[in-house]
Amino acid sequence: MNEQQIRWDDLQIVLAIAEAGSLSGASRALRISHATVFRRLSEMEQGLGVKLFERSRTGYTPTLTGNDLAASAKRVQSEINGAERRIIGQDLTLTGSLRITTTDTLFAGLLSPLLASFRQRYPEITLEVVISNQLQSLSRREADIAIRPTRKPPETLVGRKISNITQAIYGQKTLWQNTPLPLEPSSLTSESWIGPDVHLGDATLEKWMMDKPAAYRLDSMLGMQLAVRHGAGIAVLPCYLGDADEALLRLSEPIDVLTTQLWLLTHPDLRYVARVRAFMEAITEGLRGG
């Protein structure tokens, strides 16, 4: 192996390729171009005089040396993230930035006015909101606070349960307003259903929908809501979303097995940061109605 100083930027490249299994996946994770990832990997292999990945049609597989460097990169990344969290944890001022992750449904149905109110109350705190159905890592500081529906929050995080989220079946009001309600879900099996795509990430709802003929699937609850509003079928929606939509009608009682919990979560190292505490108190107060 040629003598060369290995930079942290280089280790990030190796780790990203090892985790993604491809250059394109690594470029998305690092938010740099595919060409840059290829060039930097080639320069690193040439400088070290070793091959770090085996190339094939199915992707990039780390060699023994590649695995070793990827493992080192993971340890370094963990140390850096931990140091950042500890430093931030000493911040007792109501300034700086907060990166929040939540779902599109929660943002549209509950959080948007609360975040606007928080910004007015704490103008020195910058909010960065990641709206995604995919989980962001609080340990890797992809986000500082998560506001998520979950039945089992990760044990590595701390936070509080805000409330239960109930779900029920909804249909377009003009199509169902003359029907005696509520209906039993079992009486609706022959209806046209709008269901969740696998990318929505709600395994419990997917299981409940297994015997429902859903020929229309979406990876967004907001998309499902719009589809119901336009008469494309019936769907299970969170009650806070469906009840607030004047174009929809609740067709059933809340479905017990689909009830989940709304959690406000952060990393233990950040729990005493002033802006984190202020945000969690404000959102808890807002969601619980004061």
Looking at the domain assignment, is residue 243 inside a domain? yes
pLDDT band at 136, cuts 50/70/90? low
Both 184 and 247 in a single domain? yes
- Total count of domains within the chain: 3
Looking at the domain assignment, is residue 263 inside a domain? no
Q: In CATH, what number is assigned to the domain containing residue 135?
A: 3.40.190.10
Residues sharing a CB contact under 8 Å with residue 73, sequence separation 6 or more, in sequence order: 11, 12, 14, 15
Both 102 and 154 in a single domain? yes
Exposed / middle / buried, residue 65 (Cβ in 10 Å: 0-12, 13-18, 19+): middle
Per-residue pLDDT at 74: 86
User: Per-residue pLDDT averaged across 197-209, rounded?
Assistant: 87
pTM over 0.85: no
Amino acid at position 153, single letter: P
Q: Which of 90-99, 136-145, 199-208 has the lowest mean pLDDT?
A: 136-145
The number of beta carbons lying within 10 Å of the beta carbon of residue 78 is 12
**By residue range, what is the domain housing residue 77?**
8-89
Looking at the domain assignment, is residue 2 inside a domain? no
| Statement: residue 2 has pLDDT above 60 | no
Longest dimension (CA), the chain: 80
Question: Where is the domain boundary, 58, 89, 120?
Answer: 89
Looking at the domain assignment, is residue 208 inside a domain? yes
Question: Where is the domain boundary, 89, 118, 139?
Answer: 89
User: Per-residue pLDDT averaged across 106-132, rounded?
Assistant: 93
List of E strands, the chain: 53-56, 59-62, 96-102, 125-131, 145-150, 158-165, 167-172, 193-196, 214-218, 235-238, 248-250, 260-266
